[in-house]
Chain A
Amino acid sequence: GQNIDQPTEMTATEGAIVQINCTYQTSGFNGLFWYQQHAGEAPTFLSYNVLDGLEEKGRFSSFLSRSKGYSYLLLKELQMKDSASYLCAAAQGAGNKLTFGGGTRVLVKP
């Protein structure tokens, strides 16, 4: 079956770096998405990996290893506004439906 695992919660200090790990087991894998979701709001797209390696977008980077079923999201120079839930999602099948992990709630402290 499908399984996406990520830590439930992480705490970090403003200005620091945090790495959120995600492991997945899915069929028909089409790539790995990371979304950010603030409380009560819709998920917003952060990054996408389909090939092995690192993708960098400003303060956010994402890594994928398809052979290990592993990804991480790296948040650098943390800001208070980065306090949110971060969702790891595997895209599957012809329709690219997303199977999400439970989300990692990141709390940034001053």
Chain B
Amino acid sequence: DTGVSQDPRHKITKRGQNVTFRCDPISEHNRLYWYRQTLGQGPEFLTYFQNEAQLEKSRLLSDRFSAERPKGSFSTLEIQRTEQGDSAMYLCASSSPQEAGPYNEQFFGPGTRLTVL
């Protein structure tokens, strides 16, 4: 098992463009989370999935943001009409309540760093 992977690792785009990020969780982890982190701050929760169902969305997730997990495995996060304020590190994490040890911790991917010019 290679852990949570994210692609791309870096993305530079111009304001107004659409971008899509991908997250591959640890195999058979049924929960997948998206967070956003700006420099010098802690991560902020955006949304989470249990299997293919999106069960919670933060108020931070405006209508320009959409996330999917169509088959309950990988997930995509799309940002439409990007703004400079969207520049951040987008982190994906996964966990598995059924298989977890005593901690049920979330395992984080390396993140996608988005820069909007």
- CB pair A42–B111 under 8 Å, yes or no, is yes
- CB pair A102–B40 under 8 Å, yes or no, is yes
A45 to B44, CA, bound (A): 16
Q: A95 at interface (Cβ–Cβ under 8 A)?
A: yes
Looking at the assembled complex, report how far the CB atom of B16 sits from the nearest CB atom of chain A, in whole angstroms: 27
Interface size class of A (residues with CB under 8 A): 20 to 34
Of residues 36 to 50 in B, which have CB atoms within 8 Å of A's CB atoms?
40-45, 48, 50
Chain B residues with Cβ below 8 Å from A44 are 108
The residue on A at minimum CB distance from B107 is A45
Number of A-B contacts (CB under 8 A): 58
- CB pair A33–B105 under 8 Å, yes or no, is yes
Looking at the assembled complex, report how far the CB atom of B86 sits from the nearest CB atom of chain A, in whole angstroms: 19
- CB pair B43–A87 under 8 Å, yes or no, is yes
Chain A residues with Cβ below 8 Å from B4 are 42
Of residues 18 to 52 in B, which have CB atoms within 8 Å of A's CB atoms?
31, 33, 35, 40-45, 48, 50
Take A87-B43, A95-B31, A97-B33 as given contacts and tell me if A45 and B95 are in contact as well, using a CB distance cutoff of 8 Å: no
Of residues 92 to 115 in B, which have CB atoms within 8 Å of A's CB atoms?
95, 97, 102-111
Our pick among A42, A97, A102, A103 for the contact of B109 (Cβ within 8 Å) is A42
Q: A99 at interface (Cβ–Cβ under 8 A)?
A: yes
- CB pair B55–A95 under 8 Å, yes or no, is yes
Q: A72 at interface (Cβ–Cβ under 8 A)?
A: no
A12 to B102, CA, bound (A): 31
Contact with B along A41-81 (1 / 0, CB 8 A): 11111001000000000000000000000000000000000
Of all A-B residue pairs in the complex, the 3 with the closest CB atoms, nearest first, are A100-B42, A42-B108, A45-B105
Extra A-B contacts (17), CB below 8 Å, given A48-B105, A94-B55, A103-B41:
A33-B105, A42-B108, A42-B111, A43-B91, A45-B107, A48-B102, A48-B104, A87-B43, A89-B42, A95-B55, A96-B95, A98-B106, A100-B42, A101-B42, A102-B40, A102-B41, A103-B40
Which chain B residues have a beta carbon within 8 Å of chain A's beta carbons?
4, 31, 33, 35, 40-45, 48, 50, 55-56, 91, 95, 97, 102-111
